[in-house]
Amino acid sequence: MTVQRCIVHLIRNSIKYIPSKDYKAYTTQLRRVYGAASLKAAEAEFERFKQAWSRYPGAVDIWVRNWSHVEQLFNYGSAVRKVMYTTNAIESLNSSFRKVTKKGAFPNEDAVLKALYLRLTELYKKWADRPVSNWALVRNQLSMDANLQKRIMRYEKY
């Protein structure tokens, strides 16, 4: 499985090259690219995007350099892509772990691992009741991949 780039971070990194008066138009056109129904449609929108914003080469270059990662999103259905657009959950977990490890010195490696384990169990309780939006559709789209289907079946309880 490939590791996807975070669309939100690509937008944030590229928008710094765009005057604030153009933010809305810029992000609207980008949404047409990453929100396209298919890779072919996304590629066509990407060409239009590159032409329309060529006066800001720094902003366009970020997307050009990362396009191979963005186009991987289209290996999945639209419901899966919506879940994959952002890495906020991963970043939240890492941030929470950093807070735990910044609190002081640990006498040994086991002490750090125990602290991280305890934090992870707290987060699990906090996040356990948060459903993935459109999970049934996401699960069905993921199940179309034979390798992912095997993984899903291993963890689901029937």
Q: What is the pLDDT of residues 26-65, one digit of tens each?
A: 999 999 999 999 999 999 999 999 999 999 999 999 999 9
Place of tokens 């994959």: 84
Q: CA–CA separation, 13 vs 67, rounded Å? A: 14
Q: Cα-atom radius of gyration of the chain, to the nearest Å? A: 20
Q: Which helix (H) or strand (E) holds 158?
A: none
Q: What would the pLDDT profile of 64-110 be if each residue is shown by its tens digit? A: 999 998 998 888 888 777 777 666 677 778 888 888 888 778 899 99
- What is the value of pTM for the model shown? 0.66
